[in-house]
């Protein structure tokens, strides 16, 4: 018991030191001005939260790129987050910029800790030691540090997505609310809702989607009324989509965008992009993942459900436009699968799961020092591609595992009949 307490204290100190370092950008970042637009520290907080909320409070439409660039010192347009985002994060935009940035970074750190607690619970680890350990690893990892450095809303989305998967069977109402939070970014909410529906959690999928839509409607109606009607609002959305498609992040053939979805990785690796590649990738990944995850849910193996959840999370990330930091949603399922793999690492099919987890860990280990070495040895193109290749490889390996389990189940009756 004393040894466990000492280890917990040591891990907590390491985590606290790294958390402090990760939080520093929130109070060190210069105040936004036209001259500081290239500033990366708290960039997402500035461009996707603080000033969009300020534009909404001022009576404007933050989805209008022209208005945002004219009125505020932002570098990127406000992407199509769910409108309720503007109300949910209102408290962080009411005070001065630096106060709001520090408060938001602290809230994000708390959400990362909550994600770690959920991960420890799912993996059935000692709750205190497991939570502290996972939280420490998160703030040390590149994925965790990036959330606090850039000021992303992913910790909230990740907690919502992971919570929906964890609670869908025993607490469907809480799972629906968690899914509504995951809908904050539609590229998370849409594929996750479809996969939950396909896996049998239909009420969770429909209720969570309905909650997100109802909450957003409360914000959309005032924007439509004061913006000149539905037609004018749809014109703004069209302009937003047109602008987003020409950014380095949105373009599948971008030389700098660090996308990890199948379509972007395919082009980055082969230089080939078939017609409608992104739509085909979306449909293909979700269809295959839905069928195989549902089969894993029906598997008698008690560990199959955890792998199904991990497959679901990775499918969400590789199906549609995503960045390396978006694998944060997979942390609880990933930790649960690692715990299972450790106990079953001698089994042949679980070796594939181990390889999948190792591949999925690449974005977490892609620290600045590692990135510098990769770029020095292989060039910048490899530096922005390695995470995507690893995440897609993890999805393929999980598909291989699930397909193998399905084949094994089909062969069991045949073998018993022959004997």
Of 189, 211, 244, the residue that ends a domain is 244
Phi, psi at 42, each rounded to 5°:
60, 30
Which of the listed residues 218, 244, 270 is the one where a domain comes to its end? 244
pLDDT of residue 251: 62
Name the residue with tokens 């793999």.
341
Residues near 164 by Cβ (< 8 Å), separated by ≥ 6?
A: 175, 176, 178, 179, 182, 192, 196, 204, 208
Alpha carbon distance, N-terminus to C-terminus of the chain = 51
Range of the domain at 235: 1-244
Alpha carbons within 13 A on the beta-carbon side of 143: 25
Residue 417 lies in a domain: no
Q: Can you tell me the distance from the alpha carbon of 208 to that of 84, in angstroms, rounded to the nearest whole number?
A: 14
* Residue at which a domain ends, from 212, 244, 276: 244
- On whether residue 419 sits in a domain, the answer given is no
Four-CA torsion 200, 204, 208, 210, nearest 10 degrees: 80
What residues contact 80, with CB distance under 8 A and at least 6 apart? 63, 186, 237, 240, 241, 244
Same domain? For 234 and 130 the reply is yes
Query: What are the 10-residue block averages of pLDDT along the chain, 419 residues in total?
Result: 71 77 87 90 93 92 89 88 94 94 94 95 88 91 92 95 94 96 95 96 96 93 84 82 63 71 89 86 95 91 91 96 93 95 85 94 88 77 86 96 78 47
Looking at the structure of the chain, the number of domains it has is 2
**CA distances from residue 70 to 2, 6, 66, 77, 262 in whole angstroms, order as listed:** 60, 55, 6, 11, 35
Residues 259 and 216 in one domain: no
The reply to whether 418 falls in a domain is no
Instruction: Supply the pLDDT for residue 240.
Output: 78
**pLDDT of res. 16:** 79
Residue by residue, DSSP assigns 46-100 as: IIIIIHHHHHHHTT--TT-HHHHHHHS--SS------TTHHHHTHHHHSS-HHHH
């Amino acid at each position: 018991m004393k040894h466990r307490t000492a280890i917990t204290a040591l891990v907590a100190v390491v985590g606290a030191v790294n958390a402090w370092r990760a939080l520093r950008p929130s109070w060190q970042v210069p105040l936004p001005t036209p001259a500081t637009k290239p500033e990366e520290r708290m960039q997402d907080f500035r461009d996707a939260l603080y000033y969009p909320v300020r534009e909404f409070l001022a009576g404007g439409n933050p989805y209008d790129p022209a208005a945002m660039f004219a009125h505020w010192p932002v570098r990127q347009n406000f992407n199509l987050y769910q409108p309720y985002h503007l109300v949910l994060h209102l408290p962080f935009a009411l005070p001065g910029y630096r106060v709001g940035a520090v408060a938001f970074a602290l809230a994000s750190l708390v959400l990362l800790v909550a994600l770690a607690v959920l991960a420890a619970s799912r993996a059935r680890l000692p709750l205190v030691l497991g939570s502290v350990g996972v939280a420490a690893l998160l703030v040390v990892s590149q994925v965790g540090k990036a959330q606090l450095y850039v000021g992303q809303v992913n910790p909230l989305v990740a907690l919502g997505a992971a919570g929906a998967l964890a609670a869908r069977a025993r607490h469907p109402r809480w799972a629906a609310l968690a899914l509504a939070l995951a809908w904050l970014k539609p590229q998370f909410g849409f594929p996750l809702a479809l996969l939950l529906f396909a896996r049998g959690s239909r009420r969770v999928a429909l209720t969570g989607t309905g909650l997100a839509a109802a909450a957003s409607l409360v914000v959309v109606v005032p924007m439509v009324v004061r913006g000149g009607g539905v037609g004018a609002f749809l014109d703004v959305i069209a302009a937003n989509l047109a602008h987003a498609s020409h950014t380095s992040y949105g373009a599948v053939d971008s030389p700098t965008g660090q996308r990890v979805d199948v379509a972007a990785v395919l082009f980055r690796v082969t230089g080939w992009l078939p017609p409608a590649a992104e739509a085909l990738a979306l449909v293909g990944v979700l269809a295959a993942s839905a069928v195989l995850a549902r089969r894993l849910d029906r598997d008698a193996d008690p560990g199959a459900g955890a792998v199904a959840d991990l497959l679901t999370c990775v499918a969400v990330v590789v199906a549609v436009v995503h960045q390396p930091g978006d694998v944060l949603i997979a942390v609880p399922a990933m930790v649960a699968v690692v715990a299972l793999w450790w106990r079953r690492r001698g089994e042949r099919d679980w070796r594939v799961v181990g390889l999948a987890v190792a591949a999925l860990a690449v974005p977490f280990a892609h620290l600045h020092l590692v990135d510098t070495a990769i770029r020095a040895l292989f060039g910048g193109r490899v530096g922005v591609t390695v995470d995507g290749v690893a995440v897609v490889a993890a999805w393929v390996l999980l598909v291989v595992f699930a397909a193998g389990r399905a084949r094994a189940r089909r062969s069991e009756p045949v073998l018993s009949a022959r004997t």
